[in-house]
Chains A and B, each alone.
Chain A
């Protein structure tokens, strides 16, 4: 068993990669995947802490996150399909209709 700090470091790394993906990628699909990455980095952190404290509370939280992430993907992909049908592209920068 590695020390906790490694797992947390990995989690932080994954999270930063996710954030960068959300902020920098133009493809909406990639943005989605980056969001999934961030969620899973949070899951990893939760599992790690649960393991360290020998408590199941945080692990239960992980199941919730996974479930909600699945629902979110379902909705998000449906939206993505509709956007593609409308605009023939998934470039997130073209979706600026809320511009003030």
Chain B
């Protein structure tokens, strides 16, 4: 037992060791990449061993817990640095370390020739470490450490090319990094407040407790009728209040409706970073938080309702925005937002297993798509605009093959991974939750998903290269095997939770206590209809953009659909204008205020009077004094003599 406990402590220790080595000892691009990759591979192997051990335990006590040390003890609240490894953590850790390792290996070729490889690989390792801490923590406080850690690492990695004025499509890396950080911070404030509420009412932040003290999860039921007074605004149920505050954290980290604006701009970082943020880590944290604290949401139906609304709306907004993008990575970014909307909506409806299932399959095929698009960008020499691509099927046959797999999986085409997980969510919305609005929205989003993936594949791979100056080539190096492995995983990922077999459901049952839904014939017909619609939609997208519409696309031009849809298209392209609103409400007034304070207070008061004023005074005084030092020996001698005469005179006369 003790050996296994130490084993799980090793899982986050490897990436941390990799980070420290890369920061302090290892120099040289090749060595950095090798150390970073090996540390994540080691973490993956450790995770696999831990999972095998976990599977051998009795279902009712299937968890490994270890308290490394007591972290903080303030008053009656003690926060321990404790790790917790249960089936839910296990699947998350497998995804993080597995996909993370592939991304690291891929990066060795992708980042070849970069000016700061050591920094890059160190931050990547730190990123994985923070995410592992997030999913393995046994209390909310340690989870928050990981939560902030991934926020910090996303800031560092999105801004990896901080010295570039802008990267395609016209995003400033340093600004994009700051944007991600600030948007996340808004959400983090919510999570922090939720933690405070939990501490003040339950006196502990531990999920399940240890050493005989129970965690807050088991105390929730007793508190279901407790209310918090909000003064003039009435009162709110304690559990609902906590849930709403947590939602704020979730929408920030998982890029949901009001706060998703940072994710499309996060494309400013290197492509493997996007893959890491979108697939394995970071954005999945919000979904994980809901599922981990599902007891809170179970007791707060009003909050869960909002979760569903946020998720479904985000799914639609993300899908519509993805349809209109021309940047190959921006399409995928909005697609991630949309798919996260699916997961959040599923979590809100109480289909936690479906949410985790989609999280896992999405992690696989989105990593594949991002790494594939990275390989395309690499082969096109940093061209990301799909209008300048086209015809890459001939130049990049391997990438074409794996990309098609990823696109089909994301579109939800039978029998690839995306089909099973997405279908489970929509089926749940229709049959179990019986929410027709959400079903329609999710169905529409999933059709749009197929459409934009068809469009993207057509624009990228079909026809001929539109930019005659581009010289596409395929040179994969270490990028090859990650793509292959992820392609196979994207095909087979659905096996995790096939209807009727539901391994994932059984595996997560000790944590989530959800029975697998019975598979009925009507569900099968429902799924068949959705997959037919998705196929049709995807084919339509491919057909349009490889045929007549695609022929009218020129580099730098608007999409031909813009001609028919006009401002609606424009609105989709801007992500429904949320960025514009924030720009107007927050960024511009803030900039104006900052400029005012800079000009008036900083330049005039602080710089003018305090800094330059005091310095100038000392300077002028020194200049006056310096005149005495004329360097003339005879003057010095004279002064010396006068001094002697005065002193001697004083002694003689005074005495």
Contact = CB atoms under 8 A, between A and B. Distances in A.
Interface residue tally on A, bucketed by range: 10 to 19
Nearest to A28: B633
Interface string B363-375: 0000000000000
A1 interface: no
Interface stretch (A62-70, A72-80, A90-98): A90-98
Given A19-B641, A23-B641, A100 B626 contact: yes
Nearest to B632: A96
Given A100-B626, A100-B627, A93 B632 contact: yes
A93 B634 contact: yes
B521 interface: no
Contact of A96 (B631, B637, B638): B631
Nearest to A35: B637
Interface string B623-655: 001111111111001100100000000000000
Contacts of A99: 629-632
B638 A100 contact: no
A79 to B, nearest CB: 12
Contact of B628 (A22, A31, A96, A100): A100
A92 B637 CA distance: 12
Contacts of B626: 100
A97 B637 contact: no
Nearest to A26: B634
Contacts of B625: 100
Contacts of B638: 23
Contacts of A93: 632, 634
Q: Tell me which of B625, B630, B634 has the highest count of chain A C-beta atoms within 10 A of its own C-beta.
A: B634
A98 B631 contact: yes
A73 B614 CA distance: 48
A100 B631 contact: yes
A66 B632 CA distance: 28
Contacts of B637: 22-23
B295 to A, nearest CB: 77
A56 to B, nearest CB: 27
B575 to A, nearest CB: 65
Given A19-B641, A23-B641, A100-B626, A95 B634 contact: no
Contact of B634 (A22, A98, A100): A22
A23 B633 contact: no
A65 B630 CA distance: 31
A95 B629 CA distance: 13
Contacts of B634: 22-24, 92-93
A31 B633 CA distance: 11
Contacts of A19: 641
A92 B632 CA distance: 8
A95 B637 CA distance: 14
Contact of B631 (A22, A24, A31, A97): A97
A22 B625 CA distance: 25
A99 B628 CA distance: 9
Interface string A47-62: 0000000000000000
A24 B628 CA distance: 19
Contacts of A98: 629, 631
Q: Tell me which of A24, A96, A97 has the highest count of chain B C-beta atoms within 10 A of its own C-beta.
A: A96
A92 B633 contact: yes
A99 B630 CA distance: 4
A23 B639 CA distance: 10
A73 to B, nearest CB: 17
A92 B525 CA distance: 111
B627 to A, nearest CB: 7
Nearest to A93: B632
Interface string B609-630: 0000000000000000111111
B633 A95 contact: yes
Top-5 shortest CB links A-B:
A100-B629, A99-B631, A96-B631, A100-B626, A98-B631
Interface of B: 625-634, 637-638, 641
19 contacts: A22-B634, A22-B637, A23-B634, A23-B638, A23-B641, A24-B634, A92-B633, A93-B632, A93-B634, A95-B633, A96-B630, A96-B631, A98-B631, A99-B630, A99-B631, A99-B632, A100-B625, A100-B627, A100-B629
Given A23-B637, A96-B630, A96-B631, 13 more contacts: A23-B634, A92-B633, A92-B634, A93-B632, A95-B631, A95-B633, A97-B631, A98-B629, A99-B630, A99-B632, A100-B627, A100-B628, A100-B629
